[in-house]
Structure 1
Amino acid sequence: MSTLACRIRRTAAVAVALAAGSVLAPTATAAPAGHHHSGSTVTSAPLAAGLYQSSYSARNHVLWATTAVGRPPVTESALLKVDPESLKVKAAYQPPVTDEQTGAVEAVYGVAVDDEHNTVWTTNTRDNSVAVYSQRGGAHLKTLKNVAHAREIVVDERRNTAWASGFGDGSLVAFDTRTLKEKKRVTVEGSSPTGLAVDARTGTVHATDLEGDRIISLSPHAKQPKFVPVGDGPISVALSRDGRTAYTANQTAGTVSVVNLRKGEVTRTVPTGAGTLSVATDPRSGRVLAANRTAGDLAVIDPRRGTVVETLPTGPNPNHVETAPGRAFVVDKSKAGPAGEDQVHRIRLGR
């Protein structure tokens, strides 16, 4: 397959997560139902159409979720403030309108909380920008432009930095979370950065390169990034608690790569299920969670043994997994709600 054809195929894999539908009113959420699976408990509830990602705020005990519906011009998008206990929407904040004639809005996709400054950062993929919102009242604080096809964002609270991945031009862009200004930009020619994770101890940011089948690692003082080959189609990355091991969700291969970052090599490859799209680590147990979009489930991995210890059903098309101590949250694109809404799943992880 040619390089161009490969890039087109993988770009389509990223775009497949942008599903159509309509945003459900916050008061219309149904009561969740519980299911038990080998020590873990899955609680599911319809939330809204067009779910994309979520991020948990420990400071406010809130789950922030993004929704965006349809193709440009996108007129329905919201930043949702969700109660992690009831799985009901507490508030829905609409992004700014960008075109009065069409009603297009600055649609939100990727999301990360900054509890240090009580803000929420989003990627506005179709507008090639990122934005900052207040966690306190949902106010839109600023839009920062020139991030080509901004896909994901991650916050390094210790260093007052938010990193965004520019899938469109191979860039990693850093913003100051105090001044809300760009402070660093690194472009890797020919790359397609997607998922992001930052090591809180060292400040090193790691990005999956979907085109290059590798991790791009950029430390704060390095002049050039380092590269580590991983599995086929890496689209999401997470780190171990000590930051020495990375885990990549390899969408094309349907696997998770366990990567020794010091040695710069894959030590284990764990088959997880078709269409592995998102990966996260449980800060309590150290286990790795992989959302398998095509398979429609969540794999719980013991990284020491390199085995899947639980497979939990999430419904069709899980799109993103987020963790809090002892819990995980998965948003899907199932349209399985009574009015065609997508769902949120809360998993209380077994020991």
Structure 2
Amino acid sequence: MYASPSRNAGRRALAGLFTAAMVVGGGSALSMSAANAQESPLAQITGSIGATQFAQDCVALDAGLYQTAYSETENAVYVTRSVGRPPVTESTLTKVDADSLEVLDSVDPAVNDEASGARTAVYGVAVDDANGYVWTTNTRDNTVAVYDAKTLDLVKQYEAGLVDHARDVAVDPESGKAYVSSAASEEGAVYEFDGNDLDAAPTKIELPDLANTVSLDLDPATGALFTVDLGGPHAAKIDTRNGNEVTTYDLGDSVEAASGVTIDTKNGNIWAIDQTTGSAVVVDEESGDVVKNFETGEGALNAKHDDATGLVYVSNRTANNITVYDAATFEQVGDLPAGPNAELGQAPNHVSVDGKGNAFSVNKFAPEAGEGAGKNQLCRITPDGGPLSSVTGSLDQITGSFEGLGE
């Protein structure tokens, strides 16, 4: 039996302020003074990378951050948080204002085991603005849940065991259907849930050439859904508006464990990210040909293409950076930390975009001691929109100072 989720509105306030400066190449540093930092709820790191400048505005949140998703209707970013391995007793779905990065509301998922205190922890997240829903994956319980986007009230908790190791969720804005990947299945599959009928049982879409499906990305214009295989060199496209017809792509012998995927609809390319080799493989969606294969960073985990800017963001979890690429030329135009404070800004996990040119990143590492103990960072990344060029600096050239954290 599920207990009621607990509400934490107002209690998870902004946890601290940061000041930092990025020095790239031979250019001058653009910094935010301590005095200015105290006047702003945001931490900011700003600097030039080639001819493109990126600003990162960051806040510290309780550790365990996993993914983010943006709602245009609410102008909010939804952040999932889960800590440790089962029994997972700490988990939160947090709603953050996309402009100020102020925490608007948060809820702890329901306890599903009174003896251990384990919760139906949230990991993957996607927004259905048409129905006003936030979909989350409950990876440890092999299922999903639906929350009200405005109030964070639990709308639907699906029974445990529906999707083996439910990892990502993506929503088709036209049909209202939600698609969930299965990262620990004996056979490749994606599960389709009906956002217009939450009582309906999910439909299993079989992917015979894949094993464990991981990341998902959906083209909202066509409903085409893309995923990759953690167990082999494959990507797949599911034509969700045409009988779930499946197209499989061979990523080549260099791919060992593809975990991230994103679709560049403008250039017609699928980007697949391999966390074992730290590489990106770009495949032409129509022909299936590999058009580019290059190293992006150790432990490359997730990727996201931004239609508004033509940039691709790659989270390199082991390398502790986010690399940014011009999707048209494959040139690296950014090398960003997971946050301005080096103590907290390690192990970037996920990047999402708002369709307006902003990206949102979260990281997983949290120090066990010191002022930053138990904190991660949520950052908004904003490029200046100027001309793109190759990277001229690295994380070794980033310096920063840390202002104390406090609840």
Structure 1 residue 243 displacement after superposition: 7.9
Is 1:151 matched up with 2:167?
yes
Matched letter for residue 135 of structure 1:
A
Taking structure 1 as the reference length, the TM-score comes to: 0.88
1:27-80 CA-to-partner distances (Å, cap 9, x unmatched) read: 252133211132111122211111110101111110100011122111111101
1:206 correspondence with 2:226: yes
What SS does the aligned partner of 2:201 have? strand
Counterpart pick for 2:201 among 182, 192, 202: 182
Q: Distance in 2 between matches of 1:49 and 1:62?
A: 20
Residues of 2 paired with 1:218 and 1:281: CA distance?
18
Distance 1:207 1:182 in 2: 22
Query: Partners in 1 of 2:13 and 2:334 — Cα distance?
Result: 34
Paired residue for 1:257?
281
Report what 1:15 is aligned to.
none
1:246 is aligned to 2:270 = yes
Distance 1:338 1:239, change over 3 A: same
Q: Distance in 1 between matches of 2:267 and 2:88?
A: 38
SS in 2 for 1:305: coil
Whole-Å separation in 1 of the counterparts to 2:176 and 2:374? 39
Which of 221, 228, 237 is residue 217 of structure 1 equivalent to? 237
What is the SS of the residue equivalent to 1:126?
helix
213, 216, 229: which one pairs with 2:250?
A: 229
TM-score by length of 2: 0.77
Identity of aligned residues (%): 35
Correspondence for 1:331: 362
SS of structure 1 residue aligned to 2:174: helix
Q: In the alignment, which of 45, 49, 52 is matched to residue 35 of structure 1?
A: 45
Contact 1:173 1:182 in 2 (8 A): no
Kept in 2, the 8 Å contact 1:278–1:291? The answer is yes
Output the CA distance in 2 between the equivalents of 1:105 and 1:340. Answer: 19
**What is the match of residue 399 of structure 2?**
none
Correspondence for 2:349 among 297, 306, 319: 319
Show structure 1 runs of 5+ residues with no match.
1-23
1:103 to 110, 114, 117: 117
After TM superposition, give the deviation of residue 299 of structure 1 in Å: 0.9
For residue 120 of structure 1, report the CA deviation from its aligned partner: 0.2
For the 8 Å contact 1:66–1:110, the answer to whether it is kept is yes
Q: Deviations over 1:130-158 (max 9, x none)?
A: 11000111111112241111000000011
2:215 is matched with which residue?
195
CA distance in 2, matches of 1:201, 1:267: 24
Amino acid across the alignment from 1:347: I
Could you say which residue in structure 1 is the equivalent of 2:104? 90
Return closer, same or farther for 1:163/1:234 CA change in 2, 3 Å cut-off: same
**Separation of aligned partners in 1, 2:164 and 2:348:** 25
CA distance in 2: counterparts of 1:106 and 1:334, whole angstroms: 22
Check conservation: 1:26, 1:88, Cα contact below 8 A.
no
Relative distance call for 1:240 and 1:28 in structure 2 (3 A) is closer
Find the aligned partners of 1:286 and 1:223 in 2 and give their Cα distance: 28
Distance 2:15 2:97 in 1: 12
Larger Rg: 2
For residue 274 of structure 1, give the secondary structure of its aligned residue in structure 2. Answer: coil
Q: What's 2:180 paired with?
A: 164
Is the partner of 2:13 in helix, strand or coil?
A: helix
Q: Would you say the 8 A contact 2:57–2:380 is kept in 1?
A: yes
C-alpha separation in 1, matches of 2:221 and 2:296: 29
Alpha-carbon distance change, 100 to 321 in structure 1, aligned in 2, over 3 angstroms = same
Larger RCO, structures 1/2 (Cα 8 Å, 6+ apart): 2
Number of residue pairs matched by the alignment: 328
- 2:154 pairs, out of 137, 140, 143, with 140
Compute the displacement of 1:183 (Å).
4.6
| Amino acid across the alignment from 1:283 | D
**C-alpha distance in structure 2 between counterparts of 1:335 and 1:184, whole Å:** 38
Q: 1:285 and 2:309 equivalent?
A: yes
* Greater CA drift, 307-316 or 242-251: 242-251
Give 1:223 shift.
6.7
Q: 1 CA distance for matches of 2:203 and 2:14?
A: 43
Unaligned runs of 5+ residues in structure 2 are 1-9, 18-41, 339-344, 386-407
Match of residue 140, structure 2, among 114, 117, 126: 126
Instruction: Return the alpha-carbon distance in structure 2 between the equivalents of residues 105 and 59 of structure 1.
Output: 29
Root mean square deviation, CA, Å: 1.9
Distance 1:80 1:267, change over 3 A: same
> Against the structure 1 CA distance between its residues 243 and 80, is the aligned structure 2 distance closer, same or farther, given a 3 Å change threshold?
farther
Q: Give the partner amino acid of 2:373.
A: A
